[in-house]
Structure 1
């Protein structure tokens, strides 16, 4: 608590000097028109009471892969083993990557067949995504199991009014080719959007070439997306969404004694991922009661090959049924309630969890929003678990929002953890308990009166218990962890053509023995300058810094890289764009033993019809 108070004092000083701590990742999040879908109450960003980072389509369009855009958000740590299809994990405020729940249009897509049940962001192409919300801290009251450290809520692109099409193609370093096309339309009857993207690259060596690994590891992937809706009588609506990716990734082998225990090898994994949902929305009582029925599905199949021979395979599925009602009781209060059932399977083994939830929003005065919620989840193997959440957001004036939140989280053991054993043992763990967490968050969001600048300061602390780790041949509840820290973000438009921004996060994450948690740097920072003189040309320059961190077999040095983005509108329908990554050819690693691309880039053309 003393450390938390010290951090809060530092945050107060930072608020007095926003120009010293410029930031950008959350700048748009403070505009009143921004609605946060992930809270289930469709609250304005100024009403959530929680720390939320929002990544817009404008930012996503500057990256080929979603994982690179996520690295911009304060408090979010991204690790990827070798780039270009290499396994990519996302940690929020020090929590493990498998403790991050990932939603695509409201359906959980975490991999049930993975040992920890995490989600691999490596293959998620940015061209299909409209926006991303990152809800930080325990969120199980909102979304149930796995939301122990935070939620990444991914929203795919929706059709726009009229009929239109887009087409793009680009080429870049490492013989990389990427392209895609989309067609969409909307009218009074309904709407649709169909799209596809393709990436093909020779890549780099997953194992760091500085350690003598010279074999490039290629990557190729095709993604198809479809979305549509029908406007039904009585203001009802039927929506459907499908997202499918087929990818092949080359990677390197386990080499004992090498840095990170990785070296050149002839390894390949073929992955098919599919997710989708159908949603029916029916308003009743003149729109005061919104009813939503959702049926969702997610599937992943992975097959690994060593020297062309199959060495491993896994399949995981999740299916979801959900009902949510949202009742506008009066002008000051709203109640959301519902039930959902999720069935999870991995290689023939199955579990079921059923949840009941209720959320209440009260606005006693226009400037104050109070939110509280309870949820009970009943797991067919691990019994019942109840979690709670409370948040407050107060805007004493238009230029300031003070917020605070408290929440609980839990994560049921995965199917892998309850069935795996080795090393001479005769039975797997039979007494595993769910992991649990509790977190608090305090913050202030500032906006300049002229609308040209924003600043955000958050202080947080979180405790996690019953962490599941592998111990002497099987999994056991033997670990605990704590994390606390501070996040700063904001931006300021200096002139009509120049905007400066940046983020900073300090995280102190330790296990129960006060050892530093692996793969969580103490601090990360970004800086951005955006140039937009109002003509056909616009560009930006990004500086990204990550501090030193510990990996499982040793330390990983801190690093800094600089990236450039630019675009030029040849006409209303034709755009040239390009990226330069790692401008100064920094030599660094995100994970011990795994390489990263040096100076590289790409250029492309986009057509909008």
Structure 2
């Protein structure tokens, strides 16, 4: 029944595509501006597939964690080793999350002390995010290493009135989340301060365990922007997050067990920048210095041992944009990143310096984008990549887009320098991606899209069992199709949905896993949403997310069953200041696995209240 529900909702959205031909007008198109491209540009001029979650959508969907939100976009699958706060990874078109890039207010997120240099999405709450952009496909020419599978750009809330205040509390007996923020914009100064708290008793990470593995997180964020003149200013942001979590580890027989292991992670993100405009606004410059610092420690109570790790990443970034004319724009810049790992027996650092340039040219209804990047790594040396993309407005209602580009991922510090398995001879992973599609805009706020994509990755870093070190021994490929549809059924009811079919496989012909599916990469993914503004004050909604069967690992010996999650939600606006809201997560109490032998969260009821000034 649950599978039929999501199929019906998605099919209803897709069938609406048939009604669009001959009924679209230019005023039906709502132009969305994206910033993941390093400078604001209309979505219709971007040659790649992008999903944008604005502030209203984020509030409507009521998600707490970033991974639950981005999983609602096409071709993004999630794997988590238990409930809230546990290790959480995402695959973008079959590429693992440490091969995709995450940004918050333009600052790269990551933990250089992780094996792959990525981050644990299970600890990344949405908190004060007011916009999330998900670009699918590579954008390494503009952002450098890791931007192979996709780029996720988070923009946090910036005050727009002289004084603003927001507070919200939600939860039930065993779990609660509280958020609060104040800020203002007056004269030349814009400032903001926000905080968030999560306390969740969790579920057992071990699927068959009985002991709950809890999670607690505290988050603070501060923001300042001071306009020196009408065309220049300074900005700074500082955030600090402390997380404590229990998890289930391995017993003496190396089997996953219901242990009492626990971990802590303190993460700080700091940035300061200067921006200005010159030549009557035609030349814009931005300089940012940022640092992320992650200190984490896991403890094994059974053996009375602990394992400390520290990762630091300091970045210097310059971005310039120059408008030669309304039709011609250049984006160019330079970056320098210094990554460092500090752990028992290993203290190492590397530097990655890069130069990039892009030109965007409008030729009537056609927009062409061409970009190139050259990086110099302190270990493996030089690397040069390029990308071309195009968008063509076939009519007022139909936009074609296509791109051909390269992405790369530098080897992590662990893969280079670990005393047992490190290999300083590693080269960067290299990926080539092609995609093309069409977006159709119709009446009743209709938008319908089809995208085809293919990616081949060479020199992929993997553990070499013949040498017991990491090597550039793997090759993978992924290809598929994405379908999207959204429209208003009436003034009060809107629907949207997407479906993705992804083939992600081992492509190394000399490997005994050749043509095997990549681990935790479902072939079929789908989302469906329906929202009803029942009255001026009451809104109701439902969402369904489907993930098809997948394998736990590349050996394809353990299959993970398909699953469907259904969420129900409601919100009631008491007055202009106060709203109450609630939701039922996993309303059908689906029992499912996204990672073999790990538990998942069952049905949950959340009740909340929010107020704003």
Give the TM-score, by structure 1 length: 0.92
Asked whether the equivalents of residues 29 and 445 of structure 2 are also in contact (C-alpha less than 8 Å), the reply is no
Give 3-state SS (helix, strand or coil) of 2:202's partner. coil
Shift of 1:20: 8.1
Closer, same or farther in 2 for the Cα pair 1:256/1:525, shift >3 Å?
farther
Give the TM-score, by structure 2 length: 0.91
Shift of 1:57: 2.1
Q: Which of these residues, 495, 499, 507, is aligned with residue 500 of structure 1?
A: 495
Alignment-derived partner of residue 25 in structure 1: none
Q: Which of these residues, 221, 227, 231, is aligned with residue 223 of structure 2?
A: 227
Alignment-derived partner of residue 588 in structure 1: 592
Asked whether the equivalents of residues 138 and 408 of structure 1 are also in contact (C-alpha less than 8 Å), the reply is yes
Give 3-state SS (helix, strand or coil) of 1:98's partner. helix
Give 3-state SS (helix, strand or coil) of 1:39's partner. coil
The answer to whether structure 1 residue 463 and structure 2 residue 462 are counterparts is no
Shift of 1:270: 0.3
Asked whether the equivalents of residues 488 and 495 of structure 2 are also in contact (C-alpha less than 8 Å), the reply is yes
User: 1:225, 1:116 → 2: CA distance?
Assistant: 27
The answer to whether structure 1 residue 565 and structure 2 residue 569 are counterparts is yes
Shift of 1:428: 3.7
Stretch deviating more after TM superposition (305-314 or 64-73) = 305-314
Shift of 1:197: 0.6
Alignment-derived partner of residue 84 in structure 1: 84
Alignment-derived partner of residue 8 in structure 1: none
Give 3-state SS (helix, strand or coil) of 1:58's partner. helix
User: 1:507, 1:196 → 2: CA distance?
Assistant: 38
User: 1:95, 1:127 → 2: CA distance?
Assistant: 26
User: 2:327, 2:71 → 1: CA distance?
Assistant: 37
**Matches of residues 151-550 of structure 1 in structure 2 within 5 Å?**
151-172=151-172, 175-208=174-207, 211=208, 213-255=209-251, 261-307=255-301, 309-347=304-342, 348-365=347-364, 367-422=365-420, 428-448=422-442, 450-472=443-465, 473-512=468-507, 513-550=514-551
Query: Which sections of structure 2, spanning at least 5 residues, go unmatched?
Result: 1-10, 21-27, 508-513
Question: 1:526-546 CA distances to partner (integer Å, 9 max, x unpaired)?
Answer: 111101135110121011110
Question: 1:11-47 CA distances to partner (integer Å, 9 max, x unpaired)?
Answer: xx9999445899xxxxxxx965422111123211111
Shift of 1:570: 0.9
User: 2:338, 2:593 → 1: CA distance?
Assistant: 38
Stretch deviating more after TM superposition (288-297 or 34-43) = 34-43
User: 1:256, 1:398 → 2: CA distance?
Assistant: 65
Closer, same or farther in 2 for the Cα pair 1:21/1:354, shift >3 Å?
farther
Stretch deviating more after TM superposition (485-494 or 150-159) = 150-159
Alignment-derived partner of residue 7 in structure 1: none
CA RMSD of aligned residues (A): 2.0
Asked whether the equivalents of residues 567 and 585 of structure 2 are also in contact (C-alpha less than 8 Å), the reply is yes
Question: 1:198-252 CA distances to partner (integer Å, 9 max, x unpaired)?
Answer: 01111111111xx2x1000110000111112011124112111122110101000
Asked whether the equivalents of residues 21 and 488 of structure 1 are also in contact (C-alpha less than 8 Å), the reply is no
Alignment-derived partner of residue 24 in structure 2: none
Closer, same or farther in 2 for the Cα pair 1:219/1:228, shift >3 Å?
same
Stretch deviating more after TM superposition (582-591 or 413-422) = 413-422
Alignment-derived partner of residue 27 in structure 1: none
User: 2:429, 2:545 → 1: CA distance?
Assistant: 33
Alignment-derived partner of residue 41 in structure 2: 43
User: 2:73, 2:287 → 1: CA distance?
Assistant: 32
Asked whether the equivalents of residues 13 and 497 of structure 2 are also in contact (C-alpha less than 8 Å), the reply is no
- For these two proteins, the number of residue pairs brought into alignment is 578
Question: 1:272-317 CA distances to partner (integer Å, 9 max, x unpaired)?
Answer: 1111211211101111100111111111110111228442111001
Closer, same or farther in 2 for the Cα pair 1:452/1:33, shift >3 Å?
closer
Asked whether the equivalents of residues 220 and 248 of structure 1 are also in contact (C-alpha less than 8 Å), the reply is yes
Shift of 1:104: 1.2
Shift of 1:187: 2.0
User: 2:395, 2:216 → 1: CA distance?
Assistant: 51
The answer to whether structure 1 residue 123 and structure 2 residue 127 are counterparts is no
**Matches of residues 10-89 of structure 1 in structure 2 within 5 Å?**
17-19=15-17, 32-61=30-59, 62-89=62-89
Alignment-derived partner of residue 3 in structure 2: none
Asked whether the equivalents of residues 389 and 407 of structure 1 are also in contact (C-alpha less than 8 Å), the reply is yes
Question: 1:333-378 CA distances to partner (integer Å, 9 max, x unpaired)?
Answer: 001111111111011311001101110010121x221110111001
